[in-house]
Amino acid sequence: MKRFKFVLITLSLLVILLIGFFSFSKPKQILIAEYNPNYLSIYPKTNFIKFENKDFLIKEIYKYQLNLLTEIQFSGSEGFATQKVDVSDLIKTKEKAGFPKFLKFKKKDHEIIYNSQSYPITEQRLDSILSKNNENKIILFIN
């Protein structure tokens, strides 16, 4: 009976650790979008998100796994172009390309602190937080 309890407790702890690991290792995405009425004639509809009855062009998508940048997608005239980021590249190079290689993300009361910049929370739905910086730019944090 003691052995059964020990196995049960060990399995319970293992399940809790696995749930914690998978919730932490969930990929996170950050979308940066911009509104310009001329973009609709240049880019395909799949590159846009609708917010406040405007079509915002998704300019960049940063994908993170375990808080490390793994992929960047850029808008192109035929769809999205994808650049894979290798872990060895992250170690060798500094943030010279202008994009954050390590995710530094914290949610405070009514703002998001993302890579040392503060963004006001405009709207929050389930696992997504939207911040509208100005009239023509938004940033979307997807957990």
Residue-wise pLDDT for 47-56, tens only, equals 999 988 999 9
For the chain, the average pLDDT equals: 80
Give pLDDT, residue 98.
55
pTM for the full model?
A: 0.73
- 80-108: average pLDDT: 68
Residue 112 and residue 116: Cα distance in Å, rounded? 10
Residue 82's closest CA among 135, 29, 24?
29
Domain boundaries, the chain: 27-142
113, 141 contact by CB (below 8 A): no
For the record, the structure tokens of 31 come out as: 């979308």
Provide the H-helix boundaries in 1-46: 2-24
For the record, the structure tokens of 43 come out as: 């880019």
Residue type for position 100: P
